[in-house]
Structure 1
């Protein structure tokens, strides 16, 4: 049966990493005591992990209580869109040698704040989709 619907195509892991490498902002989802929370963040993909910078506060406290996270990025153009979801674990980077290396990455705060704490997200699962944008088909 032929259809005029285009539900999107599944991206493989390499294609999903391409989207993660192109984008620089997304949403970090955490959960503490069964209560979900989502934060907009900027990040950089580096050597198979995602890195962000933060300050002490709710987000960092939640990450230390439950290191299981989800992260999503979306990229949208006039005719296409991509969405990638990463699930994995987060850890605060504490080694000075690691911090010195990460300080050289192009990862700067969006707003005029000092964010000295690096958080690394190690993916356990990456899945993405590509969509061709268009009008909704006729219903009947």
Structure 2
């Protein structure tokens, strides 16, 4: 049996998490919608220790402005080094309504990817943030006896 070393997972501090969140602009927003969880892709910008995104009328807007906290997850990978990372931010979403605050967020150059009215600016204020970085495991190390059984069933 091949006993390969299990890759180390590096837990990231808050500063490292913010740096990584700044390096990408797309994440997933997790919300509780009535009686079930829901996930929406968002493009965002980091702004003074918060995340800001735009949205239009609909489920996402009405759900994030409820009393239930939200989570945002973003990740990335350096294909050259084979190192991946993931950051999860949990917190409270709030609508940006004050004129000066809206003008400040416009300066973030936050442009929606999807056409349509996206005139609501939402700020997620974190209550917690976690992140990790790890080396991607070679696909051959993912093998398990179940893989052979599945393959045999398909033949």
TM-score using structure 2 length: 0.82
**3-state SS, counterpart of residue 110 of structure 1:** coil
The 3-state SS of whatever aligns with 1:84 is strand
Aligned partner of 2:109 in structure 1 is 106
Largest Rg, 1 or 2:
2
1:95 to 93, 98, 102: 98
Alignment of 1:1-140 (within 5 A): 4-78=5-79, 79-135=82-138, 136=141
Determine the structure 1 residue equivalent to 2:151: none
Corresponding residue SS for 1:65: coil
Which has more helix, going by share of residues? Answer: 2
Cα pair distance change 1:109/1:137, threshold 3 Å: closer
Deviations 1:72-113 (A, max 9, x none): 001012111010000000001111111111111121011222
Q: Specify the SS of the correspondent of 1:43.
A: strand
For 2:70 and 2:47, the matched residues in 1 are separated by 18
Looking at structure 2, the residues matched to 137 and 55 of structure 1 have their Cα atoms a distance apart, in angstroms, of 41
Equivalent residues of 1:82, 1:129 under 8 A apart: yes
**Equivalenced residues, count:** 139
In 1: Cα distance, 2:109 partner to 2:62 partner: 25
- Structure 1 stretches of 5 or more lacking a match? none
Report the Cα distance in structure 2 between the residues aligned to 1:33 and 1:112, rounded to whole angstroms. Answer: 27
Runs of 4+ in 1 over 4 A off after TM superposition: none
